[in-house]
Amino acid sequence: MSQRVLTTESGAPVADNQNSATAGAGGPILVQDQHLLEKLARFNRERIPERVVHARGSGAYGYFEVTDDVTGFTRADFLSEVGRRTETFIRFSTVADSLGGADAVRDPRGFALKFYTNDGNYDLVGNNTPVFFIKDPIKFPDFIHSQKRDPFTGRQEPDNVWDFWANSPEATHQITWLMGDRGIPASYRHMHGFGSHTYQWTNAKGEAFFVKYHFKTNQGVRSLSAEQAAEQVGKDANSHQTDLLQAIERGVNPSWTLHVQLMPAAEAADYRFNPFDVTKVWPHADYPLQRVGRLVLDRNPDNVFAEVEQAAFSPNNFVPGIGPSPDKMLQGRLFAYADAQRYRLGINHTQLPVNAPKAADVDNYGRDGLHATRYGSRQDKNYEPNSYAGPAQTGAALASPLAVHGWTGTHEAPLHAKDDDFFQAGELYRLMSADEKDRLIANIAGGLSQVTRDDVIEKNLAHFHAADADYGKRVEEAVHALRED
């Protein structure tokens, strides 16, 4: 095999990649050494801004295969027939830590999935929990600030974490998930994934259904205790990345079975819980899981930066037959996710290979900007409408319209019959085994006992008491015991 020739960015061959050009054998370096300057300048710019949240992640390619007929609920083409396969890319991530953080930490996990469909890319952006901490996007920047490093101390502060939660009682349900056994997955392969938000499916008749996605791991759920996680971080901070990479390289391809909960749109208004509140679940007794298909991961990225770090997801990337719901957190993310990628990667991030559609053509009037690679032919116009046979609208909505009414202004979410901030957290606690409860109490008390303000502790304790009397009593006793030591 012939030796490949090293070149500069402009394609010129490099004569010497070991020694800089100097004024004489021992003299200073010359500014005319274009190869040296290009290498240093490029190296200085190798890093792009990391994600504010979900910075640390791993990814893999695979496919989604339909196993059950769901055409009565959605006209989405990639779900239109049993046996249909669609190429996918998934990015797993931790939420709060930076790019240099460890994998085996107590934190929700991102579960972001891109389907390369014939109708364009469909992005499903969720977590490994079915609920979230807050229900309104206006609180999201404050929530993340409370969980990130304090601007003075430079570290995550229990006072900040628990003070925000003390003043946000809707977080009680997600705190119960996070502090429970599933708060630290043993690996990305051994956790469930959820769309978390409520979305809309529309069938060929125009009938609308609200939908929640549940990806159940076929490897079984495995989690780490706080002690096991600390040991794992000490051995390999990249433990989840290592596990995913090596499993796929060995041909042990992880898989998940997708189930959905489906609610006819007409039932949403009178459902006992607000179906668009992401701090709440739909009990399976009300809306049972229905199987859709399976997700299989079978190929690792060739380059982590190009394909994992530059992967860009946005929940507003819908396809015909799938659309949004009035879920307020989802509505905020429809803007925020795409805007974050425009900041991090530029306006043309959708042209990067990992983000570009693979099974559909892109044809629009977007032009120019940094890193543009798509210009069209010399005859193409960059405006619409035009008289030159340019691409035109279809007039067919992706999903069914949503009825709206009332006065504009800032409103709290409407309460349904069973809506409060604590009922479902109590239900989750009562489902736990005795051992699970013991670990949950220990995890909560371990963090809450470090808070320096008594009033913040008391506010949080009141939330656990409101969820379940035994829950609150045990957390209170554990916190007091730790503070007395």
Q: Which are the catalytic amino acids?
A: 54, 127
Strands (E), 320-460: 322-323
The answer for residues whose C-beta is within 8 angstroms of residue 356's C-beta and 6 or more apart is 350, 362
Measuring CA to CA, which residue among 174, 158, 438 is closest to residue 280? 174
Q: Which residues pair with 89 in a beta bridge?
A: 61, 114
Structure tokens, 328: 């307020």
3-state secondary structure of 46: coil
CA distance 48 to 59: 18
CA distance 454 to 299: 51
**Using alpha carbons only, how large is the chain's radius of gyration in Å?**
25
3-state secondary structure of 24: coil
SS3 assignment for 204-222: CCCCEEEEEEEEEECCCCC
CA distance 249 to 408: 54
How many Cβ atoms are within 10 Å of 84's Cβ, its own excluded?
17
Asked if 34 and 8 touch (Cβ cutoff 8 Å), the reply is yes
Taking each helix axis from N to C end, the angle separating 158-166 and 434-448, rounded to the nearest 10 degrees, works out to: 110
Specify the pairing of strand 208-217 against strand 193-194: antiparallel
